[in-house]
Amino acid sequence: MVVGESKPIAEILEMLKDCKKVVLAGCKGCVTVCNVGGEKEVGILASELRLARKAAGKELAVLEYTCERQCDPEYIEALDDLVKDADAVLSIACSVGPQYVAARYPYVPVFPGINTTFIGGAVEHGVWKEYCQACGNCILGDTGGLCPIARCAKTLLNGPCGGSSGGKCEVGKGAVDCVWHLIYERLKNLGQLKKLEEPMLYKNWATSRDGGPRTMIREELRK
Amino acid sequence: MTMTAGSNLEKILTSGQKAVTCECGPPRGADAEHFRHKASYLKGICEAVNITDNQTAVVRFCSMAASRIMMDLGMEPVMQMVTRDMNRIALQSNVLGAAALGIKNLLCLTGDHNSFGDHPQAKNVHDLDSIQLLHCIKTMRDDGKMISGTEVQGRPAMFIGAAANPFADPFEFRVVRMAKKIAAGAQFIQTQCIYDMDRFAQFMQMANDMGLTEKCYIMAGITPFKSVGMANYMKKFVPGLVVPDSYIQRLRGVPKDKQGAEGIKIAVEQIQQCLEMKGIAGIHLMAIEWEERAPEILKAAGLLPRPKVD
Ligand code: SF4
Ligand code: SF4
């Protein structure tokens, strides 16, 4: 899923400093699962904003709504009535949300209330890790099911590098696993260490964002 | 092994004599005089001098310019290239440019991560890794083709090197990774600084058993300790480096003003031990910001004067 983290409240207050009335839009998708942008967080953030602005002597009206999804234009429509007389929309969906909001309401400013951080998942309660960089040409089949593009600090295709020590990456002060060490151990368990003997050659990054912003068209679904 | 670039380093190694390389890092500014001064200590005491490429991800003047300056001083550079800061377009362009300037030795590295350097907010590149860069340069030289398949107009005649770290993990894989580098194009290897002699001997044994020392020249990396402080720092903070306590105790056992001399003594012993190992083709002496002491180390190790080849 897409993982995000809340922006500091001070940053959000600064963005909204000229507003009197805003729509705070959450999303029931990924950001609900990672506890950053669902119905509950909409409620909490709305109260925090109201309180802070009240304390500052400049009240803010916050209209709360949590969309089914914000990564789907048809669910943005549900905001139409609320947005009508609002000064701005504050979206706490992943960053697709604010952009769909911007596309639907050309004359209403939109602000992101969270930082969209990565494609990943929870490894324990309250801890999330990055697992994929959406390179557009998945090589997990060659690397024991573990992604060196997202999880190796240097995106190596022929690791582990000389900085790998005791299973940990040279980056992260001992807190980050060396994914190439994990790949090595896993291929050893699978009896596939031979795979690591041949140099893995150049990756085609054109399928990644390096080829320009990506659009995917599936003709069979368009009809 | 057939001659590819005809550099001084390649000639000495091919002749079967023990080769010596040193290292010199360009300064963090445009002060070429400072660089010339440091480099001058290394003149005549080694076959070639490695010019680091923004080592530890700290901005310095570029390795290609420094390599050229070194040539103007009548010395031979080993130009280092890291894949951290440039994509395949810039890397190939620099290989061709270096060849055009007459540079004949290249060392391919991935480089330290930018988070260690003076610009941790930089965007890193890592389009290629060191193994792919080796393959790329070899293909340009031997097949006259770029990564894209485009024909190279004038092939870069390069003697191609790589680094190996016998002290990183997993240990069993280190020699396999070196073999991959050799398969990809490395003709010579310079190792990470060696302090743990037992582990290095084991590494060399594996390299010999796999026949790697027949295919590639392996040069043992030596860095003298300037003080017990430096030894402690290297032990604690340099990723993938093993410093046995015995050296730290030895340095601690002498007065502060004699620690440098003791460090040099240790380095000389290490060089001699390495030279006795089967498959060692030479020594890569990295006297970091201590270039002026390199001559006495090499002299004490019996590596001076350097042999001549034509
Ligand atoms: S190889 Fe690419 S698509 Fe597959 S997990 Fe890694 S980044 Fe994602
Ligand atoms: S230590 Fe491992 S994960 Fe970290 S950069 Fe090196 S190979 Fe990649």
Check whether residue A97 and residue A158 sit in a common domain.
Answer: no
B122 touches A at CB < 8 Å: no
Cis peptide before B224 (omega within 30 of 0): no
Phi, psi of B280 (to 5 degrees): -85, 120
Tell me, what's the pLDDT at A223? Answer: 79
Residue B142 has pLDDT above 80, yes or no: yes
Q: Which amino acid is at B158?
A: M
The closest of B20, B12, B26, B32 to B72, measured between CA atoms, is B32
Average pLDDT over residues B78-83: 98
Average pLDDT over residues B16-38: 97
Query: What is the C-alpha to C-alpha distance for residues B23 and B41, in angstroms, rounded to an integer?
Result: 11
Task: Assess if residue A10 is contained within a domain.
Answer: yes
Task: Encode pLDDT of B231-247 as tens digits.
Answer: 999 998 887 788 999 99
Please state, rounded to an integer, the average pLDDT across all residues of chain A. 97
Task: Assess if residue A124 is contained within a domain.
Answer: no
A175 touches B at CB < 8 Å: no
Check whether residue A110 and residue A142 sit in a common domain.
Answer: no
**DSSP class of A141:** G
Give the rounded distance of the alpha carbon of B35 from its chain centre.
Answer: 18
Task: Assess if residue B213 is contained within a domain.
Answer: yes
B88 touches A at CB < 8 Å: yes
Check whether residue A114 and residue A169 sit in a common domain.
Answer: no
Task: Assess if residue A50 is contained within a domain.
Answer: yes
- Interchain pair B180, A167: CB under 8 A: no
Which of A133, A149, A156, A165 is the pocket-test mutation for ligand 2 (most atoms within 8 Å of CB)?
A156
Task: Assess if residue B306 is contained within a domain.
Answer: no
Residue B202 class from Cβ within 10 Å (0-12 exposed, 13-18 middle, 19+ buried)? Answer: middle
Query: What is the C-alpha to C-alpha distance for residues A23 and A111, in angstroms, rounded to an integer?
Result: 10
Q: What is the CATH number of the domain that holds A44?
A: 3.40.50.2300
At residue B69, the 3 state secondary structure works out as helix
Number of domains in chain A: 2
Tell me, what's the pLDDT at A154? Answer: 97
The closest of B46, B44, B82, B47 to B63, measured between CA atoms, is B82
Instruction: Tell me which residue has its CA closest to atom 8 in ligand 2.
Output: A152
Task: Encode pLDDT of A179-210 as tens digits.
Answer: 999 999 999 999 999 999 999 999 999 999 99
In chain A, pLDDT over 90 holds for what percent of residues? 98
Task: Encode pLDDT of B171-191 as tens digits.
Answer: 999 999 999 999 999 999 999
| Domain stops at, among A118, A144, A165 | A118
Task: Assess if residue A216 is contained within a domain.
Answer: no
Task: Assess if residue B175 is contained within a domain.
Answer: yes
Residue A5 has pLDDT above 80, yes or no: yes
Residue B1 has pLDDT above 80, yes or no: no
Task: Encode pLDDT of B97-124 as tens digits.
Answer: 999 999 999 999 999 999 999 999 999 9
Task: Assess if residue B3 is contained within a domain.
Answer: no
Cis peptide before A160 (omega within 30 of 0): yes
Check whether residue A181 and residue A91 sit in a common domain.
Answer: no
B196 touches A at CB < 8 Å: no
Check whether residue A12 and residue A87 sit in a common domain.
Answer: yes
Tell me, what's the pLDDT at B2? Answer: 82
Tell me, what's the pLDDT at B310? Answer: 78
Token pair of A60, please?
């803010």
Task: Encode pLDDT of A23-41 as tens digits.
Answer: 999 999 999 999 999 999 9
Residue A14 has pLDDT above 80, yes or no: yes
Instruction: Tell me which residue has its CA closest to atom 3 in ligand 1.
Output: A138
Residue A80 class from Cβ within 10 Å (0-12 exposed, 13-18 middle, 19+ buried)? Answer: exposed
Check whether residue A73 and residue A40 sit in a common domain.
Answer: yes
Query: What is the C-alpha to C-alpha distance for residues B119 and B122, in angstroms, rounded to an integer?
Result: 6
Residue B184 belongs to what domain range?
8-300
Count of all residues that appear for chain A in the document: 223
Task: Assess if residue B19 is contained within a domain.
Answer: yes
Check whether residue A111 and residue A139 sit in a common domain.
Answer: no
Check whether residue A107 and residue A165 sit in a common domain.
Answer: no
Q: What is the largest CA-CA distance in chain A?
A: 68
| Domain stops at, among A67, A88, A118 | A118
Task: Assess if residue A156 is contained within a domain.
Answer: yes
The CA-atom distances, in angstroms, between B94 and each of B39, B77, B100, B106, B222 are 22, 15, 10, 11, 28
Query: What is the C-alpha to C-alpha distance for residues B73 and B40, in angstroms, rounded to an integer?
Result: 8
Residue B223 has pLDDT above 90, yes or no: yes
Check whether residue A8 and residue A111 sit in a common domain.
Answer: yes
- Interchain pair B180, A162: CB under 8 A: no
Task: Assess if residue A128 is contained within a domain.
Answer: no
- Interchain pair B240, A166: CB under 8 A: no
The closest of B87, B83, B67, B84 to B75, measured between CA atoms, is B67
Q: Which amino acid is at B94?
A: N
Check whether residue A154 and residue A190 sit in a common domain.
Answer: yes
- Interchain pair B132, A170: CB under 8 A: no
Check whether residue A9 and residue A113 sit in a common domain.
Answer: yes
Q: Check pocket membership of A161 for ligand 2, CB cut-off 6 A.
A: yes
Task: Encode pLDDT of A48-107 as tens digits.
Answer: 999 999 999 999 999 999 999 999 999 999 999 999 999 999 999 999 999 999 999 999
Check whether residue A114 and residue A137 sit in a common domain.
Answer: no
Determine how many CB atoms are found less than 10 A away from the CB of residue B121. 6
Average pLDDT over residues B278-295: 96
- Ligand 2 atom with the smallest distance to the CA of A172 is 4
Task: Assess if residue A209 is contained within a domain.
Answer: no
Residue A11 class from Cβ within 10 Å (0-12 exposed, 13-18 middle, 19+ buried)? Answer: middle
Band the pLDDT of A15: cuts 50, 70, 90: very high
Task: Assess if residue B310 is contained within a domain.
Answer: no
| ipTM over the 0.85 cut-off | yes
Task: Assess if residue B309 is contained within a domain.
Answer: no
Residue A181 belongs to what domain range?
133-199
The size of the A-B interface in CB pairs under 8 A is 90
Residue B9 has pLDDT above 90, yes or no: yes
Q: What is the CATH number of the domain that holds B281?
A: 3.20.20.220
Tell me, what's the pLDDT at B77? Answer: 98
| Domain stops at, among A66, A95, A118 | A118
